[in-house]
Amino acid sequence: MASEDTDLKKHSAAKVVYRFLGGAALGTFMVLIPYLLSSTELNLLNIGIAALLVVSCGLLSSLLGKRFIEALIRSLESSGLY
């Protein structure tokens, strides 16, 4: 019984980490699109905002799960850039 509980906790912790990484990857993709399509300079403020966006996408996807990732993908599709 105890081993089943620890396996379940390991599995759910891994799932949360994978969701965070998936959301962070989508956030990185969202950040890179404007920089690749334009010739804007990177300064410390832009890098800080980009890092905040990537981390917040990762956190939201780990908390909300599939619903947030699907909404993020829908917004990318509607932008016409994806």
Backbone angles phi, psi at 39, to 5 degrees: -110, 55
Quick one: pLDDT at residue 52?
95
Asked if residue 16 has pLDDT above 60, the reply is yes
Helix (H, G, I), strand (E, B) or coil at 16: helix
Mean pLDDT of 7-20: 76
pTM of the model: 0.73
Structure tokens at 35: 């920089």
Mean pLDDT of 9-22: 82
Selected residue with higher pLDDT from 45 and 82: 45
Quick one: pLDDT at residue 34?
80
**Maximum Cα–Cα distance across the chain:** 58
Residue type, 21: L
Mean pLDDT of 3-16: 67
